[in-house]
Amino acid sequence: QVRLAESGGGSAQAGGSLRLSCVVSGSTSGRTCLAWFRQAPGKEREEIAGVDANGNSRHADAVKGRFRISQDNTKNMLYLDMNNLKPEDTAVYYCAAEKWSWQPCRLVAEQIKPNYWGQGTQVTVSS
């Protein structure tokens, strides 16, 4: 069982910055990929950044160069640093985890397939 809890959402002006945090608790056992998803009104939930069990990361084109995913395994934390925010970044942001059964999770699919989700945190960017 993996439990996820996000914090750090809120409002920002275009061009501003926010940092999202996710507490990762429970048993990840070194076999878990972690990711940030977002869902804007009327749109599907999409992965915007992910990190695998070996620390390899990726970012969606829409956020590449502006957002950065990172983790602190000593504190069981996952972060998303968001810079140069745009109004189109407005969405509910979710922390997610995909735990593999027998080997370290790798980012092989276009998006991870989460077994676990956080409750989500709202980010609103005004122009």
114/14 Cα distance (integer angstroms) = 30
Are the beta carbons of 67 and 3 closer than 8 angstroms? no
Class of residue 108 by CB neighbours under 10 A (exposed 0-12, middle 13-18, buried 19+): exposed
pLDDT for the residue 59: 98
pLDDT digits (tens, 9 = 90+) for 104-113: 999 999 999 9
pLDDT for the residue 69: 98
pLDDT confidence bin for 73, thresholds 50/70/90? confident
Class of residue 37 by CB neighbours under 10 A (exposed 0-12, middle 13-18, buried 19+): buried
For residue 30, is pLDDT > 90? Answer: no
Phi, psi of 87 (to 5 degrees): -55, -30
